Each structure stands twice: as structure tokens, then as C-alpha cells.
Chain A
């Protein structure tokens, strides 16, 4: 069972995140960059399947040079090798363009299963499995809280409001995972040391046969026109509960004509 896990490096959602006023793209160079939290669940799931069924786990990332940190994290958790698509021309690409790059990179790999996190915490689109499924003609099994791989089929429980859908498809397939699916392992010291020796292949757009003019900000299918910080809220009222907290709260709701 060969598995490719898509990994994205994102600005830490717990730190201040910004757009770069120079070109209205995510300010990655100055950010506190980490592996997308949701991808750790996909890596864990890939390792679990591999441990049960054998095979190899390959990490695939598209991103700037700093994204090697995210790759090392994935390798230290136990992935076997990595492919890093690294090309300055990709900067500013929209999801549609990025999906073309990832699809081309997947075209150079052998896999039964592609796993990814159900969303990246920076853009929160949650669409990459759908885009790749559409491009590659693969089944899309997105939003999993449980994955079973057996007899050439992948089955998931797709998390929904108040329940789940059981969905299934033949392999090869693309599966995305929520944080309800497992508890990602922490890299062990041994894992961290081993990761340093694991192979990381760097590919450029030329290696993938992609015309540089078809990716990047200039030909993106959507663009940010302008942005601004959210206007600060007016100073709120904060009252201590001196036995009358409930009364004051209900009084506020009444003044707002809610009760």
C-alpha cells in the first residue's frame, strides 16, 4: 500500500498572521511557519495503514524553501521519503493553479492512496481533494473521521452536521481527514534523527512539465483586490457579578431587544 500524504506549511494559527501589502498574498516569509495542524492527522492515518498493510509513505509538499521544516516534521513522525515542489514562479498561485502543480507531481509518483488534511488553517478552503479528484479522475473521499482500507476499497465516515455519511470508492483514491480521526504521534528522538537521512527530492515546474506562465499571481484565477484589519470593536461593558450578574446580563439582552 503506497500512500502519498499532501502536506502544507502554514503560518501558525496561534500567532499573528498577515497578508503582504506588496502583492496581497499571505506573508509567509515573516510568519511563524509550522506544518498545517490538520495534516498531522493525515500523516498519522497513513502511518497506521502502512503499519498494518506494508508499503511506503511519501510526503508531497508545494511551497517555498522554508517548507522543508514541515517535510522534516512529517519524516520524523515516520514517513519514508518526501517530494518538495519548489519553484519561485509558484508564489501567489490560487487553489486552481496549485491543484495543477500537485496533480502533476502525483503523476510522477506511484500510489494507492492520497491522504491530506481536511483543511489548511491559513486559507481554509477545504477543496484540494475535490480539485485533485476532478483533475485526476480519482474518487474523492473527503472529510473523514474514520478510514478503512481493505480489498482494494477505501471506506470512510464523512463527518456531517450531527452525524456522518458512509462513503466508499475503489483505490486509488483521495482521502482527507479531520482531527477526529486519530491522535497524531509525537516524533521520537530516534525518528527525528532518522528523518535527517531520509531522501527529499526537489522538483521544479520544468521537472513537472508545467509552463511557468500558467502558475503564480499574474495568471491566478482569483485575486485579492485589497484588505484591511477588522475595524476594532467599540469598547464593551464588563461587569462583576455581585449577586446581580444574571439581572445585568438579562437587562443587556432586553436593551438589545433579544428578550
Chain B
């Protein structure tokens, strides 16, 4: 069976692979037998290899080096290019984070290949599905040159276990001087949150201009916490200073595709729809019955968010005991 390389995205906070990695392993199985590629500091693979094997990694390539995390993007692309040259895989699948897309791009140049970003599905013949223009257009694309490289959008594929051997193979890491051009000198976490990460969450509750103030975002957070959801914000809310930019959902922010998206006080401008239109179930609360968000919503409540949302939060908390 053809070998498919899957780059492992790590979750430094929780210690294991990110859910996006398990999704990528699942998607890669349409193309062949996944081999996970762990690139990180020494000792990294030990904490993730069991999960990788459980989700279908026949092999785990361990590329560990103290230097690899000191530089941006380029070293990881070099390791993958080396593996592509040695193993001639049928394809490479990478989780679609900003870094993942940049690795894909550099790998494409290095290997003389084409690449497709933010794919939501990969068919056995290599055809990928992409969502274009704020979710309005569904596109099927193919790589026509070299080793196809895909970045898989988070939450597009449900991770399914498929236990495999997970046989470890050590990869010698040699970082070129050119790949050391950009140094990472610090990694700063500004918002520590017990809530799930926005792009990974199965439920997202977002607030918009209608929330009216930064303080009042506690209404959104309350509903989110009752559901174990992530919190998002529209651009209008972010531009108004109600909530930090890293939580912005939309064209110039994050794209999310959760099981349930609850839009509160969000009118539903194209800019916002671009980031959430592919959510499975959409619920809206807005006082304006003409708000375009209702065109997308499976269920909408026309009313004042300040009465509807706290009451709903209370009822959900009561149900969950």
C-alpha cells in the first residue's frame, strides 16, 4: 500500500498530538498507509506515538533535534523534503494551521510539487474538496505535478481510530544554514483559557456588535461555558474593542467549522459568514428579524440577547446538573 506522510502537529499545553493530527491521519487513509512524522525537541515522540499508532500510523518517523523549534517553519520543511526524497510517498498531509500551510508551500518548492490548502476532504484518487469565497462555492481540485501536498482544515474530518503498528524510525536532522535565517526568540501566551481552542471546538459561541460592550461579553462566555464551548467574536466586536483579535471569526480571522455555532448579536455580514458558514448547525440570536444571519440559521430567536442568552445559560446549566 502506498505510504502517505502525515506531519504531526503538537499540543504543547496538553502534551499529545493536536486533534488536527488525528484528523489528518484519518483523511490520509483514503490515499494509503499513513506514516506520522514527528518533528520536535528530543523526547517529543515518546508522548505522542501511542496516539499516532491508534489512529493509523503504520510508521512513526522521529525527527528530533534541540534546534528544530528555534527557527521558523523552514527546518520542518527540510525534514519533510528529506523524507519525500527517501520514501517517495504517494502524498503528504499536513494540518492546516498558519505554520502548516507555510511548511506545505516551502515543501512544494523544494520537491517541485503542487499543494492544496485548507482542504476539507481527500478522495482516494487524490481529488480534494475546498470551500471558496466565504463558503459560497465548493471546489474540487487536484495536484498535477510532483508529490501532492495537502493541508487539511480542522474539524472537517472526524478522527476515527484504526490501530496500526506505529513502528518508530529515527530520522537524522540536519538543518541547513539557510533554514536558520529566522529565529524564534520567545513564545508568549497572553490568554490562558480553560476553554477549547476556537478552531478545534465542537461548539462555538460568538458575540457581535449587539453584545454592546467588553463587560457584557460575560454573557457570551457564560453560555459558552455552560456548553463547554469556545468563544468567538465578529470583526465588529473586535474592532469595537469588546474582545481580543485572536478570537475573531471571519474573513480576516479564524475559520471555524464546529458541530454547533451560536451567533449572538451578530448581523451576519459576508466578512463573518466567511469564517463560520460551514458549521454543521447554526443558531442565531438577534433583535433584528431582518439580520442576514437568519438566512444561515437552522434555528433563530428574534429577541434581546440580554434576556434570552442568560436564561438559556441557566436552563442549560440546570439540565446538565
A residues near B (Cβ < 8 Å) are 13-14, 16-19, 37-38, 94-96, 99, 119, 121-127, 129-131, 133-135, 137-143, 145, 158-170, 173, 178-180, 219-230, 233-234, 236-241, 245-250, 252-254, 256, 258-259
Interface residues of B in 161-214 (CB under 8 A from A): 178, 181-193, 197-199, 203
Known: A227-B139, A241-B307. 18 other contacts (CB 8 A): A130-B73, A131-B109, A134-B109, A140-B72, A140-B181, A142-B98, A142-B102, A168-B182, A169-B183, A222-B144, A229-B136, A230-B136, A233-B298, A238-B289, A238-B300, A249-B312, A250-B319, A253-B260
Is the beta-carbon distance between B300 and A237 smaller than 8 angstroms?
yes
Is the beta-carbon distance between B132 and A19 smaller than 8 angstroms?
yes
Interface residues of B in 47-81 (CB under 8 A from A): 72-74, 77
* Chain B residue, CB-CB nearest to A220: B144
Shortest Cβ distance from residue A210 to the other chain B in the assembled complex, whole angstroms: 16
Is the beta-carbon distance between B246 and A133 smaller than 8 angstroms?
no
Counting chain A CB atoms within 10 Å of each CB, the highest count among B117, B188, B277, B303 belongs to B303
A-B contact pairs, 23 of them (CB 8 A): A127-B101, A127-B102, A130-B73, A131-B105, A141-B72, A142-B102, A145-B245, A163-B190, A167-B182, A167-B183, A169-B182, A180-B245, A225-B127, A236-B297, A236-B299, A238-B302, A241-B303, A245-B302, A245-B308, A246-B308, A246-B315, A252-B299, A258-B281
Across-interface contacts of B298 in A (CB, < 8 A): 233-234, 236-237, 252
Across-interface contacts of A240 in B (CB, < 8 A): 289, 301-303
Is the beta-carbon distance between B117 and A127 smaller than 8 angstroms?
yes
Across-interface contacts of B282 in A (CB, < 8 A): 236
* Chain B residue, CB-CB nearest to A135: B109
Is the beta-carbon distance between B105 and A127 smaller than 8 angstroms?
yes
Across-interface contacts of A226 in B (CB, < 8 A): 139-140
* Chain A residue, CB-CB nearest to B245: A180
Shortest Cβ distance from residue B107 to the other chain A in the assembled complex, whole angstroms: 9
Q: Does B146 contact A (CB under 8 A)?
A: yes
A254 vs B285: C-alpha distance in the bound complex, in angstroms? Answer: 17
Chain B 260-285 near chain A by CB (<8 Å), digits 1 or 0 = 10000000011100100100011101
Shortest Cβ distance from residue B71 to the other chain A in the assembled complex, whole angstroms: 9
Contact of B137 among A19, A142, A179 (CB under 8 A): A19
Nearest 9 CB-CB pairings of A with B: A241-B303, A221-B114, A246-B311, A127-B105, A139-B181, A130-B102, A246-B312, A222-B114, A166-B186
Once A127-B101, A167-B183 are accepted as A-B contacts, the answer to whether A227 and B246 lie under 8 Å apart by CB is no
Across-interface contacts of A173 in B (CB, < 8 A): 181-182
